[in-house]
Amino acid sequence: MTDRVESYIEENQPRFIEELKEFMRFPSVSAQRAHDGDTRACAEWLVAHLARLGFDAQLVDVGGQPIVRAAAKGKASRRAVIYGHYDVQPEDPLDEWKTPPFEPTIRDGILYGRGATDDKGQLFAHVKAVESLLATEGQLPCEVVFLIEGEEESGGDALPRYIEQAQAELACDAVIVSDSTMYDANTPAITNGLRGILAFEFTVKGPNSDVHSGAYGGAVANPAMVVVQMLAACVSPEGKVLVPHFYDDVAPLEDWEREGFGKLAFDDGALARELEVPRLHGEPGYSTLERLWARPTFEINGIFGGYQGQRSKTIIPAGATAKISIRLVPHQDPAKVRDAVFAHLRAVCPDTVRLEIPYSAMSPPVLFDVNTPVIRAAEEALRQGFGREPAFIRCGGSIPVVSTFVEQLQCPVVLMGFGLDSDRPHGPNEHFSLDSFRRGTKAAAHLLRTI
């Protein structure tokens, strides 16, 4: 990388950060209809920003939240698609935020706010990388197409549908995704495997309204207790999923990867201290990294039913709901797992209540071959941008669009994350290191020159 690009990135940091804060001020919460206006306003801001940099930028509306598409030609005819998402998770629990989620605030070189790391900060590193290349070299080293969606956090399908429609015009040599993590604050990483996801909720309905637990307790099924019994029939106290056939297609870890995980010397105690839990927990027989990266899970994301106020209200609730996310690993098939889980829930639900499963969303797990030129170019770009040797890791999370890219565009996908799990991407006080933002911008610029 020329010193001019690196210097430009260094010199313009204060403005880059102010612009990122502007981007983060939009409460673009795609899961909540009340924020639809904010979400669209955020997309429009991005279009205007990319247009000012010289991109042919536009909103693409295929139903759902709009997609930002922006293209600029380059010196070479090679073409990179840079993916990101401008939508964010809901901000609750609001009272646990030290500073408001949509008022980005810097403390000790860390930028706090919803979307800081997931994904506005990481995406914006690429936006500022192209600006820096254009400003110092007059044109981009290759053609760049930004494809930035607004439904990543809500399981929408606008982008997958668009990619399918526009498959031919999106053909490219590589897709670059920065919506994942480094291994730790000092070790940049390329993610070669992602867990898939199956997310759904189910509701158990009992009496037609809340009823007195004295007058009716013992006569009628308690929907909250039924939800409890159903969930206990899905997962053992030890953390083993009890759904029949759940583990059937789980691929055992290959030796080189298990050894690689081992060498990363993951510190269980440090994670327990970070989360302030007495000790870690998970499926017996696997190390923490194996459980996080190569084993499926069944998690309750939310559970609710009945009285939630102060002290007591002695009722049997009319209904209760659980929101579930299941993380999938190669080679589990999401639809097959969904069918197995729903069949199990229906089987264990007693006939004293009514069961509803109003929706589900899913995306398959992915696993990449690491021995490709594009991946090796990314390895070198990270080495230069961060001045450190990158690691190959997997990610416990899911980036549903990655499997769409793999299937529809049939090109290499580079997962080059600048965040950390400890950035609290879906929790209160989400944050992003400004150091990683600066280094990530450099790595992103370098990658476009060598891709």
Give catalytic residue positions. Answer: 87, 152
Q: Who contacts 175 (Cβ-Cβ below 8 Å, separation ≥6)? A: 80, 81, 82, 83, 405, 409, 411, 412, 413, 414
Nearer Cβ to its own copies (49/327): 327
Nearer Cβ to its own copies (186/308): 308
| Beta-sheet pairing, 354-363 with 196-205 | antiparallel
Q: Give me the least distance between CB of 85 and its own copies, in Å please.
A: 14
Nearer Cβ to its own copies (54/239): 239
Task: Please name every residue paired with 296 in a beta bridge, in sequence order, or none if there are none.
Answer: none
User: From CA 235, how far away is CA 174, in angstroms rounded?
Assistant: 40
Q: Are 180 and 394 in contact (CB under 8 A)?
A: no
Q: Give me the least distance between CB of 402 and its own copies, in Å please.
A: 13
Residue whose C-alpha is closest to residue 300's, from 324, 326, 328, 320: 324
Q: What is the DSSP letter of 165?
A: H
The torsion angles phi and psi of 271, rounded to 5 degrees, stand at -65, -40
Q: Give me the least distance between CB of 325 and its own copies, in Å please.
A: 5
Nearer Cβ to its own copies (360/441): 360
- Structure tokens of 93? 């629990």
Q: Give me the least distance between CB of 215 and its own copies, in Å please.
A: 4
Q: What is the DSSP letter of 252?
A: P
What strands lie across the sheet with 196-205, from one edge to the other?
Answer: 319-328, 196-205, 354-363
Unique residue bearing structure tokens 């010193």? 3
- Structure tokens of 124? 């914006």
Q: Who contacts 123 (Cβ-Cβ below 8 Å, separation ≥6)? A: 84, 85, 86, 148, 178, 179
Dmax (CA) of the chain: 79
The torsion angles phi and psi of 217, rounded to 5 degrees, stand at -70, 115
Nearer Cβ to its own copies (260/428): 428
Q: Give me the least distance between CB of 25 and its own copies, in Å please.
A: 21
Q: Are 385 and 439 in contact (CB under 8 A)?
A: yes
Q: Give me the least distance between CB of 386 and its own copies, in Å please.
A: 20
* Omega before 331 within 30 of 0, i.e. cis: yes
Nearer Cβ to its own copies (62/225): 225
Unique residue bearing structure tokens 């909250």? 224
Nearer Cβ to its own copies (328/451): 328
Q: Who contacts 35 (Cβ-Cβ below 8 Å, separation ≥6)? A: 27, 28, 29
Three-state SS at 424: coil
